[in-house]
Structure 1
Amino acid sequence: MVLLRLSSMALSRSRFALSPLAETLGSMSVLTKPCSDPWLTPWYTRHHDAFHAVLDADPFAKGLVELICSTKYLPGYVTLPPSGGMRTALADELKPVAAARDETVRVDLEAAVAHSWERHDLRWLTGHGWGARTADLFRYTWEEHVLPDWTRRRALLERDISYRAGLLAAYGWPRALQQMNRRSAWVGADAIRFSHQPGPDRVVGEDGMLFVPICVTTGTWLSEEPPARYALVYPARGSAADPTGQRGPARALERLIGAGRAALLHELERPATSTELAIHLGQSLGTIGGHLAVLRDADLIVGTRVGRRVVYRRTETGDRLAARHAI
């Protein structure tokens, strides 16, 4: 069992972050397999063929992606923790990737082959400048296949962070980590269980852990940068939701409180801010604000301030009403 051990200082400084590099890596994995996620299906359909055409034309890119998507050990040179917090830029993340020495890349890829559940060889690893070639592949995938969808994805990621920040403020880190993935859990007073597999414990540095959501339904990994920087990448809540953001509430509830308010009440199965709701439901902030005021006056929802934002959630009455009229 692998444990991430945190001092009280490291725990107090742990925080959430975004990583375009991790989002791109997760997207590569989605594009190489059959897509079962309705939230990503329209995106998958638009980008699948073009992505595979690029891989088929470049043996290095194809070999790298196929290995990354079929191993329990992701190469360390492409999984460094993000350094820009919520404003991390892909260009900054790709600098150390491009600068990775060929010797480092080969060692990482050989370890990935050794931990793969498929048979691989490294015959495609020819020439030199493998770090720079890897950075070029990630930059292409981001610009052509992820960036056009980033506004929608970022809204979902920020919503997950808002939800967990609310749990953190109310209950502390153990509750905020619940259901982050199937394996991770708080252990004792100072450790996070990352994996059931045997391995040495890691001691998190005084700057604390980073928790990085991505828009895939599966896929968790630990990003590591010596001597003691760590980031836990995990699937964001709600990434398997309907791509339109609409859950189709029952007609009876629509007649009772209106179609817009019914959709919003169902959407608040997961707490969110008014801005996140507006983006996800495709409505103006003014419209969302009006619906929230009515639902709040009816004691169906409640708002809780988390820093500068107000996160809305259903009350017990709202839960019962939504459950009774769910399809």
Structure 2
Amino acid sequence: MDRKYVDFQLAPDDLTAIRFGISPGHELCHAVRAILRPDEYPLQWGWMRSSQAAIPREDFEVLALLIREEGYFPDFLTTTPTWELTPEAEAERLRDIDDDRFEVDMTKVLVRSDGARRIAVQHMLDQPDRARAMIAEAWLSVWNSAIAPVWTQLERLLRADIAVRSRRIAESGIGGMVGTLHDRVAWADGAVRVTMRIWSEVVDCHGSGLVLVPSVMGATGCFVLTEPPAQPTLFYPAQGVTATWARDAGGVADALGALLGPARARILLDAHEPRTTSQVAHDTGLAISTASHHLTVLRDAGLVASTRDGARVLHRRSPLGEAMVGAVL
């Protein structure tokens, strides 16, 4: 049998050919699949034990109807990998899906359905405005009950993975980094090649680039988006995900505290967004001079990066700091 590949062809001289993103939608879709097929998601058992009972059944069933245990689910659920999109903005985006895009994606779901599922999907196609509102409400409801309580831990793992991958690009180039994403992903003649089960395709990424998106929930393999208007996207399992990733943030703080001391651990954990020394002092209840001393120690260790913004100096976790926090998780 001939092997099947999706080749994302990149421009060799385009320094922006690869960028990274985070997809709340992808995490939520695979959270739904983990609940539907728990035996195939052992790394999510701890998360499921703590969250599953709180998920509203009717809202979950709306998403489960579209996502199912395997196979295709609507591209519009995962097509906005970014750094800043909030859950509320993601839900609002789902309310405003273009009519043509909604019809195309839902028709793909329809042809893969039978029985009661097919009837329900057809009802959605027949009433697109109502269906979009229902999907958006279900998305936000399941997010708030299932993902929001652990989003801090989950996002740290995603950002830590991106930090490590970015550093690897600097050290060994795009090809060297791509070869470490997953055993189904390789660098081949200027293309990111993903081994597939069903089809082969060559995707021209010249001008658009390729978005690489790590995933904690989707740790079972790689997934691709290749059809416009979605930007070419490859979802891959984030590294460093263990069965304890969803443990309470207090446990993470304790572990880092044993290494760095409680004050520096708190500063490092909160440094996912840029803050001034005064803001760090206020958030931690420290004197400005004490906060400044701890920031200096963290900066000298390479865990925090400080940059000037006009008259202000802003402090944020460095790639090494992201990797450390992710490793503790």
TM-score calculated relative to the size of structure 2: 0.66
1:54 positional shift: 2.9
CA contact (8 A) 1:215 1:236 kept: yes
CA contact (8 A) 2:161 2:238 kept: yes
Tell me how far apart the structure 2 counterparts of residues 279 and 86 of structure 1 sit (CA, whole Å): 24
Report the equivalent of 1:235.
237
When the two chains are superposed, the root-mean-square deviation of aligned CA atoms in Å is 3.7
Report the equivalent of 1:222.
224
Q: How does 1:261-300 map to 2 (within 5 A)?
A: 281-283=255-257, 286-287=260-261
Closer, same or farther: CA 40–195 of 1 in aligned 2, 3 Å: same
| DSSP 3-state at the match of 1:93 | helix
Residue 122 of structure 1, aligned match among 112, 118, 125? 118
What are the Cα deviations for residues 214-258 of structure 1, in whole angstroms up to 9, with x where unaligned? Answer: 21221432235625722212221122343488xxxxxxxxxxxxx
What are the Cα deviations for residues 1-25 of structure 1, in whole angstroms up to 9, with x where unaligned? Answer: 2211111355534221112222222
Closer, same or farther: CA 40–109 of 1 in aligned 2, 3 Å: same
Closer, same or farther: CA 187–35 of 1 in aligned 2, 3 Å: same
CA contact (8 A) 1:183 1:196 kept: no
Closer, same or farther: CA 190–305 of 1 in aligned 2, 3 Å: farther
Report the equivalent of 1:75.
74
Tell me how far apart the structure 2 counterparts of residues 280 and 32 of structure 1 sit (CA, whole Å): 33
TM-score calculated relative to the size of structure 1: 0.66
One-letter identity of the residue aligned with 1:6: L
Q: How does 1:74-93 map to 2 (within 5 A)?
A: 74-82=73-81, 85-93=82-90
Closer, same or farther: CA 240–173 of 1 in aligned 2, 3 Å: same
Report the equivalent of 2:104.
107
Identical positions, percent: 22
| DSSP 3-state at the match of 1:175 | helix
Closer, same or farther: CA 311–209 of 1 in aligned 2, 3 Å: same
Tell me how far apart the structure 1 counterparts of residues 13 and 303 of structure 2 sit (CA, whole Å): 25
Closer, same or farther: CA 20–64 of 1 in aligned 2, 3 Å: closer
1:146 positional shift: 0.6
1:64 positional shift: 4.3
Structure 1 unaligned segments of length 5 or more: list them.
56-60, 246-276, 291-302, 313-327
Structure 2 unaligned segments of length 5 or more: list them.
266-300, 307-317, 322-329
Report the equivalent of 2:169.
168
* Matched length: 263
